[in-house]
Amino acid sequence: MTTSPLSALTLIAPAKLNLFLHINGRRHDGYHELETLFTFLDYGDELSFELTANKTISLLGDTKGIADEDNLIFKAATLLQQHRQVNKGAKISLVKRLPMGGGVGGGSSDAASTLLGLNKLWQCGLTIEQLAALGLQLGADVPVFIRGTSAIAHGIGEQLQPVQLEKKWYCVVHPNQHVSTAKIFTHPDLKRDTPKLSKLWQHEVLSNDCEPLVKKLCPEVEKTLQWLLKYAPSKMTGTGSCCFVEFDTQVQAQDVLADLPPNWQGFVAANTNISPAHSRLSAMFDDPN
């Protein structure tokens, strides 16, 4: 285990899948009450952090042309630096693998791994709960990545009930379409009245309440879901546009990926109940806090 101060650290910012997503209502502040089941995938963006002596935070790599002030990685680093009054900075390098606007949590996961990594690099000493509270300022999905366990989420996504899921293999397909989360959640046609689940949720009909609207607004998503039905029951994750199918073996998932139409992108990964970012930190330290 690492006990001396670090000067550099690399973490994976993993993809997540929403195995179901129910919207129970809309709050007065515009946020939605929801229930969803998150699982992480052993695949994601790669973030490398290097300690610097001055307070400058620099972001390098595949940022897709997003200005620093609009990038959740830079926002997360700046938020933590100001919150703990850190007198050091960081050079952050990004290898981007997760599609933007795909519903796999790329931006939120990047922000969470930034908070987790810099909390160690800057020796801030914040607990997971403190980091999750900080991360909530950046987005409702950030706390689930910071806490790092498969979970059923309630509220606006910040109330988490950890669960243990059996290992499965997923083929995730992105039809090269960007779906705006804000556009979906503000659309008048979004279904917002799904009853809350009972404690026996495994036996209830589970779906993604965003899927009908996304299919209407983005026909390529519907086309993707229909294509995947040749192999297994298909689902959309989050607010789209990534779609996925689940298998017991890696070979089955790879067979789907091999048949992928050339205008789409995809990847195969297994789910994991512990975030790869947490697994990495736990291997280096006594715990990821």
Q: Which residues are catalytic?
A: 16, 141
| 3 close to 286: Cβ distance less than 8 angstroms | no
Three-state DSSP at 27 gives: coil
Backbone φ, ψ for residue 39 (5° rounding): -135, 150
| Six token digits for residue 194 | 């799904």
What residue has token string 């293999």? Answer: 169
Structural element, H or E, at residue 81: helix 72-83
State the burial class of residue 114 (Cβ atoms within 10 Å of its Cβ: 0-12, 13-18, 19+): buried
Handedness of CA 181, 186, 191, 194 (dihedral sign): positive
| Six token digits for residue 284 | 């280096």
Q: How far is CA 287 from CA 40, 116, 189, 219, in A?
A: 19, 11, 44, 45
Three-state DSSP at 142 gives: helix
Any idea what DSSP says for residue 37? E
d(CA 238, CA 131): 23
| Six token digits for residue 160 | 């988490």
d(CA 89, CA 19): 38
d(CA 80, CA 112): 11
d(CA 267, CA 164): 23
